[in-house]
Amino acid sequence: MVLNEPLVFTGAGYFLGIHAPGHRDFRFFLKAAHHAALSQSIGSHILKNEVKNSMVGSTFSCSYITPYSFTNHDENAALRADALLNRFFIEAAMGKGYPVEHLEFMKKIYNYVLPGDEQLLKAQFDFVGIQNYTREVIKHTCWIPLIRARIIPANKRKVAHTAMNWEIYPESIYHMLKQFNSICDGLPLIITENGAAFDDKLEDGKIIDDYRIYYLQRNIEQIHRAKTEGVNILGCFIWSLFDNFEWEKGFKPRFGLVHVDFDTHLRTAKKSALWYRDFLANQNNSITVRS
């Protein structure tokens, strides 16, 4: 894997300022994004040349994008959001250039593109990883400059959601697999992250997280749906095996199949872990699923 979620660390670190190094400057974001895209491609070629029989790829965060309404304003806002959140880095890596036709403000990235850079952007991948958790519903707004779009949070729409306030929307992973399959011209895809955080409670030595089992079941069904429609899916990784440190949110969101007491380090398999174990043991599964 060359890079993990390039949009996240460039956007959150150089534009939103919520991750390191904490910059809030659009120019820094453009520079960081272009250099991340270059390093991703150049890194893939180096790995292929230097590591015999290597299987090289990179992994991309993505969310199925739908407009808040069927007005032209909201539909165009959704197109802009999709171009930035889902298409920007993968299309560059596939040699298709940056999708600036829907991102007028991102054309300024070419202020930092040197002669020959565009040819260097095409990566040499054996697979592409996608990391999907939810969909995003997008509404037009004049109050957010440049992209003129905002995400309507799940709780504001009064839909079922995880502890991260991400909507539980299983069809999202199906749509993203189909979209990436089209962008990547049938290149093998691996779901490198998919899972859910909930407010798990350890009671009498057990965690009964039926909500997580439901989430995983429905998402695996959608993965299987895409696979039966011809999407070349190599496998799926559940995020995550253990409860972990989740970026700027710390230890509070629990994504793990295994509960971790961060004071004593005691580890307890959740009901979802036992369900997943049994699921994997079923040799009749038509998709390889790994954690």
* Amino acid occupying residue 153: P
Show contacts of 197-200: CB within 8 Å, 24+ apart: 197/162, 197/163, 197/164, 197/246, 197/253, 197/254, 197/255, 198/162, 198/163, 198/254, 199/163, 199/254, 200/243, 200/254, 200/259, 200/270
Contact 31, 112 (CB under 8 A): yes
101: annotated active-site residue: no
Tell me which residue has tokens 């957010």.
144
Instruction: Assign 265 to helix, strand or coil.
Output: coil
Contact 63, 86 (CB under 8 A): yes
Classify each residue of 117-143 as buried b or exposed e, where b means 16 or more C-beta atoms within 10 Å of its C-beta: eeeebbbbbebbbbbbbbbbbbbbeee
Options 101, 171, 193, 203, the catalytic residue? 193
Contact 208, 271 (CB under 8 A): yes
What six digits make up the tokens of 201?
A: 């409670």
d(CA 250, CA 244): 8
Options 5, 91, 136, 167, the catalytic residue? 5
Contact 92, 10 (CB under 8 A): no
105 Cβ contact partners less than 8 Å away, ≥ 6 residues apart: 146, 147
91: annotated active-site residue: no
Catalytic positions are 5, 193
